[in-house]
Amino acid sequence: MPVRFVFFDIDGTLLSTGGAGQKAMEQTLISHFGLQVPFDGVLTAGRTDRGITDELFQRFGIENSPENREVFRQTYLSNLMKVLPDFAGTLLPGVQELLHHLSADSGLLLSLLTGNYTDGAWAKLRHFRIDHFFRCGGFGDDTPDRNDVARLALTAAASYSMRVVTGRDAVIIGDTPADVQCARAVGATAVAVATGAYSVDELAECRPDFLLEDFQDTQFVSSLICC
């Protein structure tokens, strides 16, 4: 019976796809929406895939209809599967060891809190063979607001564990200010890690409860999460 719920972001926190996600979106814009434009200037870190889609549609004058969003989602996911092996992605330092260590603690439930589409999230985790560590999660299919994803993640954990899960039971771990903010939105402990797009100094400005350069010190990181 878990007593503490640990929610991990994916990109920049657990792994880097080496640009595969962005390439898959770019290919989708080109192949299905006839655009020959660069993806430059679109912020993806800390965003949800729905939020990124909304911005792309607005920027390129694509009607933001449920049909277009579904075409975009399906095409992106198909492209992602194809390009993931072509990019030099990697698990971030200490991730494998940390997940192995935490998963041995029966008092913890390891979950996801990510802006990725659900299927994209699991595809990335499967590619790096760490999907088996996670039981459930909140995902970015339907909302541009990461705070909503945090609420979905708590609900998913409650459903999985069949108990009430509040922010006080939760640790949210991510690499962007948006991860810290969504932890605040649900009253969870915020752990920021500077392995993504933001430096230690930049993350310090949003005052996470704990701030790490990376996950290489397994014992120390575990002690923060389990306290």
Contacts to Mg ion by CB under 5 A: 9, 11-12, 175
- The smaller minimum CB distance to Mg ion, of residues 156 and 172, is found at 172
- The smaller minimum CB distance to Mg ion, of residues 167 and 177, is found at 177
Q: How far is the CB of 197 from Mg ion (least distance, A)?
A: 8
Q: How far is the CB of 157 from Mg ion (least distance, A)?
A: 19
Q: At what angle do helices 177-186 and 146-161 cross, to 10 degrees?
A: 60
Closest residue by beta carbon to Mg ion:
12
Q: How far is the CB of 213 from Mg ion (least distance, A)?
A: 16
Q: How far is the CB of 65 from Mg ion (least distance, A)?
A: 28
- The smaller minimum CB distance to Mg ion, of residues 112 and 154, is found at 112
- The smaller minimum CB distance to Mg ion, of residues 70 and 202, is found at 202
Q: Which two tokens stand for residue 206?
A: 């949003």
What burial class does residue 224 get, using C-beta atoms within 10 Å of its C-beta: 0-12 exposed, 13-18 middle, 19+ buried? middle
Is the backbone of residue 6 left (phi > 0), alpha (psi -120 to 50) or beta? beta
**Length reported for the chain:** 227
| Residue 129: C-alpha distances to residues 95, 118, 205 (Å) | 12, 16, 33
